[in-house]
Structures are given as structure tokens and as C-alpha cells.
Structure 1
Amino acid sequence: MSRCSLFYISLLVLVLRYSVESCVQRHVQAQVPEKLQAGYVVSKVNLDHCGFRQLYLVSNDPDFAVQTDGTILTADVITVPDDGKSFWVLVQDQRGHKWKVNHKVLQRAKRRWSPLPFNIRENDKGPFPKDVERIASDSSVNYTIKYSIEGPGVTTTPINLFSVDSINGMLRVNFAVDREEYPQFIFTARAFDRYTNQEKDLPLPITVNVQDENDNAPQFSSPLIFSVEEQSNPGTVVGQVNATDRDEPNTPHTSIRYSLLNGTDLFAINYDSGLITTRTGTLDRETQDRYFVRVEIKDMGGAPNGLSNQGLASIFLTDINDNPPTFKQSLYTAQVKENQANVLVLRIPVDDKDLKGTPNWKAVYEITKGNESGNFLIRTDPATNEGLLYVAKPLDREKQELMKLELMARNEAPLVRSSSSWKKVPIELTVTNEDEGPEFSAPILRLKVKENVPNGTLIGTYTAIDPETKSSKGIKYYKVTDPGSWINVMETTGDLKVANTIDRESPLVYNNTYNITVKAVDESQKTGTGTVLILIEDVNDNVPIIPKPDLVLCSRDGQRSSILVNAVDYDESPYSGPFTFELSKESEGKWKIKDPKPGTSVVLEQVVDMPNGVYKVPLLVKDLQGVGEEQIVSVHVCECVKEGECAAQRISSRLGVWAVLAMLLALLLLLLLCLLFVLVCSTKGEKLRMTDEYDGTGGMLLKSNTEAPGEEVKDALLVTPGSGIDGGGAMEHQTVVGAAGGALGQQAIHAGSMYQGGTQGYMTNQSMYSTGQYGGGFYGNSSYNKFSDMSILDTWRTNELYLDNKLVYFGEEEDGRFAADLLKSYGYEGVGSPAGSVGCCSVLSNQDSLDFLDSLGPKFRTLADVCMSKTERGEQ
């Protein structure tokens, strides 16, 4: 095999030893032929970065010599081993710095076979198969070689496009191919020994390029839709035409030329880039808003033999505000009633040629003249773009019958590239007459009045006139608001007179001002209102007062204390402070005023030590005019737990809860004691004098609180006489249990009177029980004790006969009478009551013992409640 003289040198920059920067590369590698003759240049050490320093170079291998410029030569004929040969070169400068350059010489690789790419033409007409190129391996010199190929175009898609003659290595193409689909093929060629079938050379990649021909016309790659503002200047960019060509790039086949086939008077296109621009500044959207331009694209740089394509480009003109709104009339007129507000007067239409709904079209109106008083308001109707003229404030025909306005219309967007200006139009409005109410001479009348002026004082006059007649004739005046009823308004004259005392210090007065409202009514019942502001001037009608006369003075051991007394005066200066304070003569020797200077407060100080207690100190307080009166300051001298609070007050406050609890406990004990008295004491009778034809002395009719008859209320009357007690001429006590007139209870007879009482009584061992009617002598079969006066017995017998007759009468007439004093039989009301019927308590199981009082149940409590009088129960 031949040897070539190709060198491969790789240089690296390394860091010099001894921490000194190296000016030579650290490693050098070279590829050389296997056999080298003497003087063969192997490589060179690069000394360009070493400057002008003088260097010494020496090789450690005698087969290689180093010249002063760094060139490495062979000193003799040498053969390079398969794994190469290594040596190093030592470089040293005058300062003693040394650098070692490692060098390795490698054998050069063998030459590869047929490396160049092949070419075929797309869309070749044949005939096929068609020879392309011969391939050959270097091993064919020593062996009988057969060739084979594999890869894209051979064994993969497109299959069998290429084939090879296995004997001579001729590569052939078998059918036409499209470059736009397969621009290049890279497949592999192999060389085998024809006899041993052993591969004798490395596999060789074979590259086949498909040469292009102009078989594709250019195509538009983006939509041909563009826009540009109307009235644009010449040269304004409209848009970019983009086109592509599938043929091979950067060849004449893909060199596209752009051109316009129409509209060249308005638009131009760049032949090479396809950029469309305007050619004139007269494009008007209002005349034509879209243009259609035909564009042609052609490859081969527009040559006649080039392929071409055409497209229709749409160019839209966008709107600018080059047209102002214009009025349809030169003058607008209307009528409007006086005294009306927020009324639509006129609709004013306009024309605008710009694009509807955009700021270039939307109108904005402005009243440029005639609206100095702000009577009118102009708005825009968003749907129709009309101007809407409103009356914002009422007009007065008496002041001006004809209103002349000037209205200007403009757009939201400013005018652009237009010589026009905003348009204006005059408007004339006739104000029609309407009957109006009276008008006061001034909407607000201000009057100054001193407070406390006498009632009936004339403080001013508030009148109104008719706007049409300019006269006050027939107008009447009435008061609308007057919070304090201080002013009277004279109906026919409008005079304002004081009705009640005007008080500047009244809460109805704010900032010394009091307001009333007056109404004027003409003959047609039209009304007008006005306001009167009464500015009240102050007079000295208030004396200084001490708002907090109850003060606390804390006593301190060995030190006399003082307190601050404040005074106020509701008048204004000069009728108020500073005040003068004076003590009465009776306070001398006990109190004194410390530093008695005029002011709003004074310090009251003890003259002598005074025991704890409350002291009344007369103090005369005068205002700046010397007007005042004596006032009493109550000073509580005490020991304080803190400033202004007595210790006793604080203790009382702390003991308040315990005091309340003690009171509640005492009340509870009292209630229990009362309940005990109710349970053990006899019921006292309320006296009811009998009035009848028998005028006996001492006769009484007893009332009872029992609403239902007890078990013991029968036809007979149970009487229980008690032991007699000599009462000094009075009948001894008896206890009677029975029913009379529907009342149930026990009765005690004492000296000609009969009382209700409890079962307690004055019973002795001689007490007994008996029953019987009243008719059989006094209390029937009862036994009597001695009497000191028998007239009392006659009286009771007379009452007995009267009661007996009345009971019989009531018993016979019960069903036919409905009088209020009728004897009634009540239904039993004790069902479900824990006490049940109280009648059972009439029978005493143990007559000689009072132990039953210790365990009285709810039944006896109910009986006691029935027997108690209203006064005893606490009722009125």
C-alpha cells in the first residue's frame, strides 16, 4: 500500500511549570508515514507567543532533531511502530525557565475506497437501468472482490432504486425519482472475497445526490388580505406577499419575482421582496373601501422559461376621521314653556361619512353661545347620533322671550388629514308664557333682632309680587315653618311680628340664627316660598351659675384643703365672663377665696380645720356687667379613698350588696312569721251593721270570703261554745262555727259585737260543741255562761229572728230570683287542688291539745287564706 504525506497536528496551550506562564504548547501530535527518511519534517513547536526571548530547544530522542525555530526533523531513516513513537522537547529561556513539550508520532491511516459522492437527475427520462458510477475497493488488488449495497433506495424505501454490478462495482439507477421527496440517498457498499465470502475492506458509505430541475411553480404561503389607512401618503406599506418554491433553495429555480397585473396606478410591489406599498395619497374609504389587485409570482428570476402563479389580493381601506359631522339644517327653532326643567326641547340630527359606530363617527355636541347661565344641557343619542337639547334650569319669559344659542358638533376622535373644521349651527328658542306663582323680593331675607323683645314687636316685612303683573295686590302670606312659634306673619301685609319670647340660648337657635319659612299665595292659588333668617342679638338675660354645686373636699391631717368651683354663663361676651366671686359674711372665718381674680372659676379654701360633714357655702357670682346672684355650694368634707370620692361613700357602695341581702333575709323572716300568724290566729270579722225594722244594738252581719260551701255547710248550724271569761259586764266569749248568708267561718262574740276569728280563740277545758237552729232559743241547745247585761241577749235574739226569716225567704225564692244578694249554691272548686276541700278542717280531732298547729298542711293554709280579711292579706 502507498504512503501519503498527510500530517495531522493538534496543539494545546498549557500552564507552564513552576507557576510561570508557558509560551509553547504542552503536547504535539503528528501523523506520518510508516517509514521516514532522514531530514523528514515531522512537526513544529509553535514559538509565536514567546516574544523576543532567546530560547534553547533540545530533544530527548536522538532520532529527532529540533531547530531554533521549533521545527522537528528526523535525524536518520526511521520506521514508525504501529502504536506510534513518543518523545519530548525541552524548551529553556535565558532566565532558566523550562517547559517540556510532549510529542507523539503516529502511523497515518490507510486510504479509503471511492469516497466521493455521486449525482443523479430527478425526473430522468431514462432509459433504465442507467449507469451512475463505478465503485472499487483497494483490496481488489490482492483479492477477487464482489460488491453489494444496502440501505435507503436499495433495501428500504424506495426499494431497488439503486443496484450494483457485483463483479465490476458499477452502480446503476433503475427508475426516475423526485428530488422534492428524496433529495439525497446515503447507503452502504461492502467488498467481499468472491471465494471465501470474507469482507476484505471496511463498509463504505455511498452518497448519491438528486440534482434538481425546475419542476415546481412558486406558491403563495400566506393569505392575500391587507389593509391600509385611507388618505395614506405614497410609499405607505400595505402588506407583504409571501411565496415559496419546492425546488432546491438558493438556485434560480427558487428565485421568485413579484409583480402586479392591475392597480399599478394605486399600488406598487417590490419585485424581489413582494412588499406592497401605496403609490398615491388619494385613497378615500368613503369613495371605495376595498381594492382587488392581481399578484403574479414567477421563479427563475422572472425569466420567460420560469414557472409562475397568480393570486387576487384584497386591500381594505381603514377609516380615519377625515369627515366632520355636518348639520342637516342651517337654523333650528323650537318653543319651550317657562318654569320647566329637565325637558327635552329639540333633537338635532347630523351626517357623518366616517365609519358608523367608531369614534370617527360618534358626535359630541357643545353649546358655544347663549348658555352662560347654564339653563341648557346637550347630550348625544348613542343610537342615532343626534344631539338632544334639554332645559336644565327653568326659563323666565318675563326676563327673556327669545333664547339664541349656537351649537357645535365634533367627533370623539380629532380630525386627521382633512382641511375641514367642526361645524356650528344657530338655535332659536321661543319661551312661552305660563301663569307663575308669587316671587318674594328676596329668596332669603335676613333680619337682626335682639332677644327678649316684647311680643307684638314688628321686626320686618317680607312681601312678594306677581311676575306677570309686577304687583303685590291680592297676595296673602302664611307661615310654613316656625319651630318655636316665635313669629306671626300678617296675612295681608307680610309684616313679621314677635309672637313669643325670642331666646338666643334656645336649642332651636343655631349659630345665633333662627329660620322660618313664609308662603305667598296669589288670587289664582299659585304659591311661592321664601326663607327668613333671624339673626338674634344677645342681651344680658342670664346670670352666671355653678353647674355642679355639690363638691367633695378631701380632708388631710395637718393640711387644709381647697376645691375648685366653676361657673358658666350662657350669654355671650360682654355679658358673660370673666366672673367675680364673693363670699357672704357668714362664711368669714370658715372659708376664703384663694387668689380672687376675675375668671370662670375660683379656688375655695378652708380657713380653719373643720370636722367631716356637709357645709353650705353661699357664694355670689357676677358677670362682666356686675349682674349675678348668690348661690349655695354644698361642700362635703370627708376622708377620701381617692380625689373627689369619700371613703364612706365607697364603703357604702361596697356594703350595698350585703345590705340588700340582709333586707331580703329580713323580709323572708317577716313573711314566714306572718304565715305562722295566719296559721295559728283566728280570723277577725269585719263589722257590717244590720239595718232592719228591729233596731237592736250591737247586731252585726258577718262577711265571708268563701266562694264554695264546705262539707260542713248543711241545714243545721254547728255552734261550739267556749269557756266564759268574765269581761266586766260583757258576755263571755263563745266560739261559733256555722253558716249564715252563704258565709263560712268561726265567730267570737265579745260585749255585743261579733268578729270573725280563727280556731285559736280563748278556749278552755269547759269548751264544748253543739248544733242547732237559731229558733230554739239563743243558739238552740247551746249552754250559756252568765251575762252582765241581758239587753245584749235581746239584741241577738232579734237578729236571730231577722236572719232566720231571711234565710227561709232566700231558700224559697232561689230558683225564681236573680238578685245580686241571692243565696247561691256554688260548684265544688277543689278538684285537682293539693289542699282539696277546706271543710274537713272544721272537725278537730284533738280538742284539748294545740299540737296540731305545729304540722299544719296546705288544707289549713287555704282555709286561713279564705278567712283572712283583705287588709290582713295586704289587699286594698
Structure 2
Amino acid sequence: MAHMFIFAICSALIISRVDLCRIPETLYVLVPQTIPVGYQVTKVETADCDTRSLVLSLKDPSFTIDRNRAIVALSPVSVVGRGRTFSVWVQDNSGQGSEMEVHLMRRTAPETHNSKGLLKRTKRRWSPPPFNLKENMKGPFPKVIDSVVSDSSVTYKVFYTMSGPGVDQAPIGLFTLDRESGMLSVTNAVDREQYPLFNLKVSVFNAENGQPTDLPLNLRVLVDDENDNAPEFAGPLQFTLPERSSAGTAVGQVKATDKDAPETSHVKIKYTLLNGLERFAIQPETGVITTITNTLDREAQDKYMVTVMIKDLFGAVNGLQNTATATISLSDINDNPPTFTKALYEATIKENEVDKLILRIPVEDKDLVNTSNWRSKFVITKGNENGHFRIDTDNSTNEGLLYVVKPLDYENGDKVKLEIQARNEAELTGTTAQWMSVPVDVTVANVDEGPQFSAPTVTFNVVEHVPNGTLIGTYTATDPETKSSNGIMYYKTLDPGSWVNVDRNTGELKVANTIDRESHFVKNGMYNITMRAVDTSSKSGTGTVILVIKDLNDNVPKIPSELVLCESGGDALGSVVFVAEDKDSDPYSSPFTFNMPSDSDGKWSVKKLNDTAATLKQEKPLRRGIHQVPIIIRDLQGNGDTQTATVKICQCRNGVCLANQSSVELGPMGILALLLPLALLLLLFLLLAFFCVTKMDKLEIDDKEYSGGNLLLSNTEGPGDEVDSTLIKVPIGIEQAGKDSVKGSLVNVGWMGTKSSSTIGGHGVHDNGIYQQGITTTKIQDYNSGQYNTQYAGSQLVGNSMSCIDSRYLSQDGGSLRMWQANGNYLHQKLKSFETEGDDIMEDDIIHSYEYEGNGSAAGSVGCCSEYGDNANLDFLNTLDPKFKALAAVCRKS
């Protein structure tokens, strides 16, 4: 019957639909004969249900289902006879519910009578929990552990079942339980470090009906530990310690673990050092390594390797052990100052040199390279009171770099003794050593220097508009070697307004032109002049003269050139605010006074707004357009006059006259201004047409008078020489060509289609000669023949007179060509005559030196003109146009 019952339950579970929320169809529960209130009968187990929408219910009012799905008694319930049965329903949002029948069965137990005749219920008893199992036990297997016996076996014929880890869970099959005798056996060795504990569940059933005869037993199987695991190191064995640490300083802690059972001697580890005992020690219980000396020097040895042994059973002979090497590195401290490689350093520098490296000072440092303990910084402790030197550090070599930053003067001393100290970026620690210093001797070499002004900058006060020739002051210089001013000449190198003359011998500064404080050359009332002093060896020095210009009341307040008054609309009268400006400074400037003239027509009034501004108001209605308004403006000193303000009355937008306003006010003069460019353009076309159709006149070069405005005259060979017109042969057919030749000029032989002509040197005039007869067409290539080349004929003589070309002016018989050749012959003869004539013929062409004009002359000395190289500079002759150079090349030909 019991087998059939179990089979029915299993069949019901197998055939149930797995896709619906379900519970077992039948459940048997052993309960006391009287169930007290609050007694938990059982817990409902569900499968494939939605826990969020799960609903459990039952029909017996004596029981309820709490939130944990446990069936709890609401009132005392007696279980008699064949027991008590009720149903439990379960349903979720799938809509399909399941029903389970719960059968409550009275728990049976033998009863005995006590001495007083009262009935008592004995407790059920399982024997013997718990069980112990030693790990790594030897075979053969299976090996019996113990037996599990329920007291219900005395009353019933029972059988036992077991479940849990080691049975039907991993590791599956490790334990077996004899179904009838309850004998528990193990089938294999167990590793405690993997499975320290097994929680098994043993149940007992009536062999006849399959119903439980006792509550299930939770059986614990403990695996006893065996020292089968050696301790292991945890974490890296890398430690760092500052050098020179005191004895007893903690280096670091060695950490180890053991897989054996905690709180047993199997995991009690002892730490031992196998070497390095002269410098380090280790605490046996904690594994903390400490120093036993204070002499650890990184510069001597920066790393130590020590062997550490760990052993369980706290170091017992039979304990398991492991060893490893710990690395102890020493970190650097600044216990070594930088040292110099020499006891004395020497350097040489020329006087007046500046920003120059004169010495590299190497040092040595035993500390860790490229750290603050190694990097050096240098200090000049002595000899640099005047700030002539600077010392830096070369970051790559750690050397000291000594620079001269302020010029040295040999005359003030040829030797400078310095003392330089080398330090580190970090302070010294762990040592009694001190920073070291080294002497440096700097030799100053003498240099022939230029003169030096008495001061680099000198200031003179001067009143603007002082008369020319007024002495401003004297600015002199001396030779640093001789301390004398003899032979020193003074010049200006910068005088933007040419306001000052300098006496070359004395350095006196005098007014040369009007000094105006309001000039744009003056900044903040000061005007700068740069002076140069030159000695006999052409060496020079410079200085600056600052003229502090005192203001005069030489300017009156001025109003803007045009004022725009916007119409207010209707009968309202407008006004405009204007600002007056006075170039003078206080007290010759603002505040201003504003008034209308006494004979004012009453159309306008002016009212002061502030120190520099006023409001010009319209007192009567006025037409649009330009109005001239007289206003009297005076400065603080009463200096001023009547000025006329140009006021434009117009319709405005954003303070600007509208565009159509200007077109409405356009009068006859405006129309004339628009037509004038058109008339000029028409006149230009008429002139061009006139020049192109007018016959060419002869040109005569007039050299009767000498013009001082010309540096050179190209149409004169020398003063008093004349061109013999009889030497110039002109071709027949060119009327009046040879007759109109004049002295000092050449006949115009350019293209004759224009009235303009060009001559050598540019001094040409028009005459009435007309070339038109005997001119026929010929090829331009014919001009390439003759004693001179095309460049000479076409470029040098013809020049730029190439407009309005007319081939009719080239004769067929080569007359024009012969004329060019004749002119060329004459020029060659003239050049040849220069070689035989004396130098006195050119005496008027040479440069003359002019002497001092004498005392009392208003002009004074000619000054710069007394020297050839001052202002009569002929350097421009080296940059003449290429055409002039070509002419010179032709003239040099023999």
C-alpha cells in the first residue's frame, strides 16, 4: 500500500502541467494530537508560479496561510481518529489554479505510566548526531561512519532515506545510507579545504504504508582537519626604507595564509629570517621586518635581498614551511652636499660685455640623480654687491653657469673676486655636512672704449616759442681712459622736429626752430633728442637729452568744424551740444566761457554746459540748410576770440541727416561741381587729338642761365662751351632742321608725330620748326646700322617721345639715319676733346668748400656743409635709372 501511495504521488507530479502554477495534489503532515494556536503545520511549496500575483487560500477556518506561505493554526485543533483533511488553493495571473489536499495525521508515541499513575509523552530521539569524518582518510572504501536509528523503529517496521550535499547534490554519491539498518558510509576520501561540512537530511517511513514515522533529521557531518597545507605568502615582498633610518624602524610586514582549519595549530605561522640578520630582524608572530642598525647607506648599497621562511604549527619540527626572497630598497635622502671639482675657478671678461657666459662650474653629488637631493642651485655669496653677475644651473649637466649681466669697467678695477656656494633643492638631512663654497677670480680685460656722456640721460627745461639761438644747455662726454673731453665731437642722431642745433666742439644745445609744445613730436610735455659723441679714434657713445617744454597760452579754444542740429518737429526749437578743444594745458585751457557777440541777431543763444561744452540753442524758427553762427569762446586766462560755427539744420534719423536732405539743398555751385569733371575729361580728349594731328616744332634748349635747383645738367658739357651747330648735318628734305640748332642743345630727332620732344638732360623747348618734307616710309631695322647701336639711337636720343608714331617721317634715302650718325660723330669728337683739355676747364664743376661767413652773421656757420660727406651727398648718382647708365656706357666708347 505504501509503495502504491508513493507511486501515485510521483505520477501526479510527473503528469502535471509544468507551464501552470501548481502545488502537490496531496500532502501528509504529522502533527501533535492537539495543535496549539500559532502552530505552523507546514509550508506550501509552489512551482512555476508568478510570486507577484500568487494567491493562496484554504477552506478550513481553523487555519490560515501567512505571508511566508506557511499554514498556521488560528485556534486549538484536535487530531483524532484517521486525522483531519482540508484543501489549499493556489492561483496566479495565468488564470488556471491548482488544489492540494492536506492530510493532518496524529503523531503516535508510546505512553508509559509514572509512579503517580499519570500519562506522559516521551520525546522522539535520533541517535547519534553529529558525525565526524577525518579528511584524506585512506581506503578501502566504502568505509562505515556510524548508524542512524529512529526510536520509531521499535514500534514500526521502517525504512530510511537521505538527501543533501554528498548524496543527491555535489559531490554526488559521497555518502550512502543503508535503507533498512540506517548505516551511514563514505565512499571516497574528503578534502576539508573543499568540503568542511555536510548538512544531510534523513527521513524515516513506515515500511507498510509509506507514511513518516518521525520528523526528518538534519544530520551534520563534520570533516576533521589534517595539516595537509603548507602556509603561503600573500602579496609582493617589496619594501622601501629611507637610508640612514634609525634602529628599530619598521621596514614592512610579511603576510602569509594557510588553508587549513582556522583556530588550530595548523594555521599558526612562525616567521624567520634566514639571512641579513646583521641589518634586519623579523617578529616571529606578526612577520614585521625591522632594522637593527642606523648605518644603511644608499650610496654604498641601495638594495638588500633577505630570505624569509614561514612555517605552521608555529615552527614545530613537523610543521609545513615555505620560503621566499624579500627585496628591501633604500630610498634616497639628501645626506650628501654637492662638491666642487676644483679649489679655485678663474674667468676672463672684456669690459662692457654683457649677457655673456663666462664660466661653467661642475659639481659632484652622490645622491640619486635627477632628484631634488641631486639637483644643484648656486648662490653668489660674495663679490656681487653691484649686481654685475648672475649664476644659473644647467639642468642637464647640473653645472653652474656664471653670466655677466651688467657691464664691467676696467677703469674701476681689473679684478673681481667672487665666492659661489653650491646647494641642493632639498635641505640636508641625516648628516652633519655643510654646504660648500668655492672662490672665483674674474679678470676684466681693458678695451679701448668710446666716449661716455656725463649721464645716460639729461633733462633740460625750455619754454615753447623761445627765439632761435637760445642756449638750452650743454651735454658733454669724456674718454673713460683719459677722463678728458679733448678731441670729442658731438652730433645729433635723433631730432624729429629739427628744433635744436649742437655745437660740435662744446656740446652746447641751442634752439634752431620754433619749439611747439602742442606738436605731435611732444609726448606728455617732453621731447627727446639722441646725442652721439665721437672721439679721435672714431669710437662713439650715445646719450639722451629730454626737453621738458613749458607751456604758453598760444592756442585758443576751437569748436568743431560743423554742427548738426536735428529738427524737433512742429514749432519746437532745436539745440545742439558742442565741445570746444584747446591744445594748451592747465592753466591755459579749460574751463571755457561761452558768449554770443553783442551784435548778435537774436536767432541763437549759447549756454555753458560744463568746463569744455556748451549748448547752442535756436531762438527763432530757421530754414533748413547751413547757418553761420558767431560764438565768443575764451579760456581760463581770457584768451580767445569770436569763432564761427557752421550749423546744419536738417531732418535727422539717429542723429544723422537724412540722405535726401543733401539733394534738396544742392545749389548752383553743387551742380557746377558735378559738371566740372565731365568738362575736364572732354578737354583732355581734345588735347590728345590736338597733339596727335599737330605738326612737330623744333625745340630749343636754353642754357643761358644756370639753375641752382638742378644737381646736373645733361645738355651742357661744361660752363661756357657751346655746341657748334655747323657740325650737325641734317638730311635734305627736312626743312629748317639744321638751321634751328642752337648752342648747348641737340636737334629734336624723336618721332615727329608729336609736338613733345625729349633731349638729353630734359631741358628742351618748342620752336616753330616743322618737319614734313622728304619723309617717306622705311623699315625700323635700317636704324640698326651706323656707328652707334639701336639702344643709343632709339632709347638715349629718342627717349620717351614715341607717341603718335607716323612712318611717313622715315625717309627712303636714309636722311634721318645720316642725321643720327652726324650727331653721334659730334658726340664722339666732344668726348675725345675732353682727354686733351686741362683740368681747369672743369673747375667750375667741382665741389667747393665754403668757409665760415664771419661773426655777426644771422645765418651763423654753414655747419654741415663745410664737410664733403655731410649733406652734399651724391650717392644718388649710384642709383640712377638704367637709361642714364646706358648713355654713360655709350659716351665712354672711343
Q: Which TM-score applies when normalising by structure 2?
A: 0.55
1:264 aligns with 2:261: no
Alpha carbons 2:201, 2:219 under 8 Å: kept: yes
* Aligned twin of 2:517: 504
* Aligned twin of 2:357: 344
- 1:484 Cα deviation from its structure 2 partner: 0.9
1:274 aligns with 2:287: yes
* Aligned twin of 1:429: 442
* Aligned twin of 1:234: 247
Relative to structure 1, the CA distance from residue 442 to residue 181 in structure 2 (aligned partners, 3 Å threshold; closer, same or farther) is same
* Aligned twin of 2:664: 656
Alpha carbons 2:231, 2:320 under 8 Å: kept: yes
| Residue 517 of structure 1, aligned match among 530, 539, 559 | 530
| Residue 416 of structure 1, aligned match among 423, 429, 433 | 429
- Measure, in 1, the Cα distance between the counterparts of 2:166 and 2:606: 129
| Residue 444 of structure 1, aligned match among 451, 454, 457 | 457
| Residue 473 of structure 2, aligned match among 460, 482, 486 | 460
- 1:508 Cα deviation from its structure 2 partner: 1.8
1:299-378, aligned counterparts within 5 Å?
Answer: 299-378=312-391
- 1:394 Cα deviation from its structure 2 partner: 2.0
Letter of the structure 1 residue corresponding to residue 473 of structure 2: G
- Measure, in 2, the Cα distance between the counterparts of 1:602 and 1:590: 17
- Measure, in 1, the Cα distance between the counterparts of 2:153 and 2:323: 58
Letter of the structure 2 residue corresponding to residue 238 of structure 1: V
- Measure, in 1, the Cα distance between the counterparts of 2:570 and 2:224: 129
* Aligned twin of 1:212: 225
* Aligned twin of 2:124: 111
1:134-173, aligned counterparts within 5 Å?
Answer: 134-145=147-158, 153=166, 161-164=174-177, 168-173=181-186
Letter of the structure 2 residue corresponding to residue 226 of structure 1: F
Letter of the structure 2 residue corresponding to residue 440 of structure 1: F
- 1:480 Cα deviation from its structure 2 partner: 0.8
* Aligned twin of 2:196: 183
1:565-576, aligned counterparts within 5 Å?
Answer: 570-572=583-585
* Aligned twin of 1:853: none
- Measure, in 1, the Cα distance between the counterparts of 2:172 and 2:649: 126
Alpha carbons 2:563, 2:578 under 8 Å: kept: no
Q: Report SS of the residue matched to 2:441.
A: strand
Alpha carbons 1:614, 1:634 under 8 Å: kept: no
- Measure, in 1, the Cα distance between the counterparts of 2:221 and 2:578: 123
Relative to structure 1, the CA distance from residue 169 to residue 612 in structure 2 (aligned partners, 3 Å threshold; closer, same or farther) is closer
Relative to structure 1, the CA distance from residue 266 to residue 486 in structure 2 (aligned partners, 3 Å threshold; closer, same or farther) is same
| Residue 405 of structure 1, aligned match among 418, 424, 427 | 418
- Measure, in 2, the Cα distance between the counterparts of 1:506 and 1:424: 59
* Aligned twin of 1:766: none
- Measure, in 2, the Cα distance between the counterparts of 1:616 and 1:196: 138
Relative to structure 1, the CA distance from residue 81 to residue 332 in structure 2 (aligned partners, 3 Å threshold; closer, same or farther) is farther
Relative to structure 1, the CA distance from residue 397 to residue 149 in structure 2 (aligned partners, 3 Å threshold; closer, same or farther) is same
Alpha carbons 2:564, 2:649 under 8 Å: kept: no
Q: Report SS of the residue matched to 2:322.
A: strand
Alpha carbons 1:147, 1:167 under 8 Å: kept: yes
* Aligned twin of 1:62: none
Alpha carbons 1:612, 1:639 under 8 Å: kept: yes
> What per-residue deviation string (whole Å, max 9, x for no partner) do you get for residues 566-599 of structure 1?
87654456666777899988x3998999999x99
1:449-488, aligned counterparts within 5 Å?
Answer: 449-488=462-501
Q: Report SS of the residue matched to 1:653.
A: helix
Q: Report SS of the residue matched to 2:493.
A: strand
Identical-residue share of aligned pairs (%) = 50
Letter of the structure 1 residue corresponding to residue 320 of structure 2: L
* Aligned twin of 1:123: 136
* Aligned twin of 2:690: none
- Measure, in 1, the Cα distance between the counterparts of 2:206 and 2:579: 136
> What per-residue deviation string (whole Å, max 9, x for no partner) do you get for residues 264-317 of structure 1?
342222222212222333322122212222222121122333222222222111
Letter of the structure 1 residue corresponding to residue 664 of structure 2: G
- 1:122 Cα deviation from its structure 2 partner: 2.5
Once the two structures are overlaid, the 10-residue window that deviates more, 431-440 or 259-268, is 259-268
* Aligned twin of 1:751: none
> What per-residue deviation string (whole Å, max 9, x for no partner) do you get for residues 213-242 of structure 1?
222222222222211111223332211111
Q: Report SS of the residue matched to 1:398.
A: helix
Q: Which 5+ residue runs of structure 2 have no aligned equivalent? A: 1-29, 40-76, 85-105, 108-120, 680-692, 694-772, 780-805, 812-894
Alpha carbons 1:616, 1:632 under 8 Å: kept: no
- Measure, in 2, the Cα distance between the counterparts of 1:821 and 1:266: 120
Q: Report SS of the residue matched to 2:314.
A: helix
- 1:167 Cα deviation from its structure 2 partner: 5.3
* Aligned twin of 1:736: none
Alpha carbons 1:229, 1:320 under 8 Å: kept: yes
Relative to structure 1, the CA distance from residue 229 to residue 517 in structure 2 (aligned partners, 3 Å threshold; closer, same or farther) is same
Letter of the structure 2 residue corresponding to residue 299 of structure 1: D
1:535 aligns with 2:548: yes
Alpha carbons 1:556, 1:639 under 8 Å: kept: no
- 1:502 Cα deviation from its structure 2 partner: 1.4
Relative to structure 1, the CA distance from residue 514 to residue 481 in structure 2 (aligned partners, 3 Å threshold; closer, same or farther) is same
* Aligned twin of 1:12: none
* Aligned twin of 1:389: 402
- 1:472 Cα deviation from its structure 2 partner: 1.9
Once the two structures are overlaid, the 10-residue window that deviates more, 327-336 or 176-185, is 176-185
* Aligned twin of 1:760: none
- Measure, in 1, the Cα distance between the counterparts of 2:632 and 2:34: 144
Q: CA RMSD in A?
A: 5.3
1:96-107, aligned counterparts within 5 Å?
Answer: none
Q: Which 5+ residue runs of structure 1 have no aligned equivalent? A: 1-30, 37-41, 44-77, 85-105, 672-687, 689-808, 823-876
- Measure, in 1, the Cα distance between the counterparts of 2:573 and 2:262: 119
- 1:499 Cα deviation from its structure 2 partner: 1.6
- 1:154 Cα deviation from its structure 2 partner: 5.7
- Measure, in 2, the Cα distance between the counterparts of 1:524 and 1:294: 84
Alpha carbons 1:549, 1:633 under 8 Å: kept: no
* Aligned twin of 2:304: 291
Relative to structure 1, the CA distance from residue 507 to residue 180 in structure 2 (aligned partners, 3 Å threshold; closer, same or farther) is closer
- Measure, in 2, the Cα distance between the counterparts of 1:368 and 1:491: 47
- 1:439 Cα deviation from its structure 2 partner: 1.0
- Measure, in 1, the Cα distance between the counterparts of 2:561 and 2:298: 90
Q: Which TM-score applies when normalising by structure 1?
A: 0.56
Alpha carbons 1:260, 1:294 under 8 Å: kept: yes
> What per-residue deviation string (whole Å, max 9, x for no partner) do you get for residues 463-498 of structure 1?
211212222222222211111111122223222122
The count of residues paired between Structure 1 and Structure 2 equals: 583
- Measure, in 2, the Cα distance between the counterparts of 1:165 and 1:580: 132
Relative to structure 1, the CA distance from residue 500 to residue 348 in structure 2 (aligned partners, 3 Å threshold; closer, same or farther) is same
1:685-834, aligned counterparts within 5 Å?
Answer: 819=808
Q: Which has the larger radius of gyration?
A: 1
Q: Report SS of the residue matched to 2:149.
A: coil
Alpha carbons 2:358, 2:404 under 8 Å: kept: yes
- Measure, in 1, the Cα distance between the counterparts of 2:525 and 2:435: 56
